[in-house]
């Protein structure tokens, strides 16, 4: 299953709903393009909903880090929502929980930008 992404606005927060796999190849490049486009269009509050993402590999993790840097360089913030246990474990293993703000509840994630 490849990666599907849609966006929606919750106030001034752009929620990216992702589903599928963020892995080497189409998945990670689609993710990269989406985040770069949103950042260049001026979206500064990005909440990436990974609730329906079943799998992320090291390439996907790399794109998330790169996306975080891209958004930060545009004066914005990229935060994560709805990680399953496997993705949480990956953030622990790679120590990226020290980089990303992570939320289980969407409303709480949205409020965190205010």
Partner 1 sequence: MAPQDFTAPAGPASSEHLLDSTLETIDAAEALVTEAAQRLGIDEDDIPGLGMAIRECVANAVVHGNRYSTKKKVYLRVWVGEKSLEVLVGDEGDGFAVTDVPDPLAEENIMKQSGRGILLIRAFVDEFAVRKREPQGTEVRLVKHLPQ
Candidates 88, 94, 106, 112: give the one binding partner 1 (CB under 8 A): 94
The reply on whether position 59 binds partner 1 by CB under 8 A is: yes
Among 14, 15, 22, 23, binds partner 1 (CB under 8 A): 23
Position 24 contacts partner 1 (CB under 8 A): yes
Give yes or no for residue 62 binding partner 1 (CB under 8 A).
yes
* Nearer to partner 1 (CB atom), residue 9 or residue 58: 58
Tell me the closest approach of the beta carbon of residue 99 to partner 1, in angstroms.
7
- Show the 3-state SS of 27-56: HHHHHHHHHHHHHHCCCCEEEEEEEEEEEE
How far is 91 from 99, CA to CA, in rounded Å?
9
Residues 34, 32: Cα–Cα separation, whole Å:
6
Gap between the Cα atoms of 98 and 10, Å rounded: 26
- For partner 1, the binding residues (CB under 8 A) are 23-25, 55, 57-59, 61-63, 65-66, 68-69, 86, 90, 93-96, 98-99
């Amino acid at each position: 299953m490849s990666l599907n992404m849609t966006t929606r606005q919750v106030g001034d927060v752009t929620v990216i709903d992702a589903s599928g796999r963020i892995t080497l190849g189409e998945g990670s490049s689609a993710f990269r393009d989406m985040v770069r486009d949103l950042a260049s269009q001026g979206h500064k509050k990005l909440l990436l909903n990974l609730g329906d993402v079943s799998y992320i590999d090291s390439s996907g993790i790399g794109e998330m880090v790169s996306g975080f840097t891209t958004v930060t360089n545009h004066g914005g913030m990229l935060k994560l929502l709805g990680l399953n246990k496997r993705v949480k474990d990956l953030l622990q293993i790679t120590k990226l929980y020290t980089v990303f703000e992570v939320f289980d509840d969407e409303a709480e994630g949205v409020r965190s930008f205010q």
